[in-house]
Structure 1
Amino acid sequence: MRTHIEIDGRSFVLHDDQPLPEIMAEIEAAASSSPTFVTLSAEGRSISVLIRSSTRVVISVEKDDHVEPDQGAWDLPFDEWEL
């Protein structure tokens, strides 16, 4: 399972050991107070983000069993090509 967080258009992949409900609660608390830094562990580094009421945060979770849909055969008229 991979957790992605996007903060004001910048995307990060969080470490799996971070409890998502706690991260969400910390961001919610920071957004409802004066501007506050929230520290996350992402992509092999520690990231501190200044959260304020206008900060846009999107969190998505990609499950391990996620499979890309089959694209199927190309719908191009290859039989009309001269090779």
Structure 2
Amino acid sequence: MDGSRTKPRTRIEIDGREFLLDGDRDLVDLMSRIEAAARSEPTFVDISSRGGLVSVLVSPGARVVISVEHEGRESIDHTPPIAPLSDWDL
């Protein structure tokens, strides 16, 4: 399958809670609303997730991580390889 035809999957994590976003969601608009909420008094931001509508209270100290993955592609493991225990000098 051509990588450009894979359907993107967007994950957003706010203070450790993860949400899967709908595919038709305007990500740039959502990021702008989260940024605005983080610069103001705590404010609710509505997120249309695959499970329905979620309102999240965003404050200046909120930790937000957004990732976009393409379905059908293998994830890359960036952790360094660890040698088997038998190869270590104990």
TM-score range normalised by the length of the shorter chain: 0.7 to 0.9
Q: Give the structure 2 partner of residue 21 of structure 1.
A: 28
TM-score by length of 2: 0.72
Q: Give the structure 2 partner of residue 54 of structure 1.
A: 61
Identity of aligned residues (%): 50
Q: Which has the larger radius of gyration?
A: 1
Give the unaligned 5+ runs of structure 2: 1-7, 77-83, 85-90
Whole-Å separation in 1 of the counterparts to 2:75 and 2:61: 34
Q: Give the structure 1 partner of residue 4 of structure 2.
A: none
* 1:63 CA displacement: 1.4
Provide the secondary structure at the position in 2 that maps to 1:38: strand
Give the unaligned 5+ runs of structure 1: 70-74, 76-83
1:1-80 counterparts in 2 under 5 A? 1-68=8-75
Moved over 6 A (4+): none
Whole-Å separation in 2 of the counterparts to 1:13 and 1:20: 12
TM-score by length of 1: 0.77
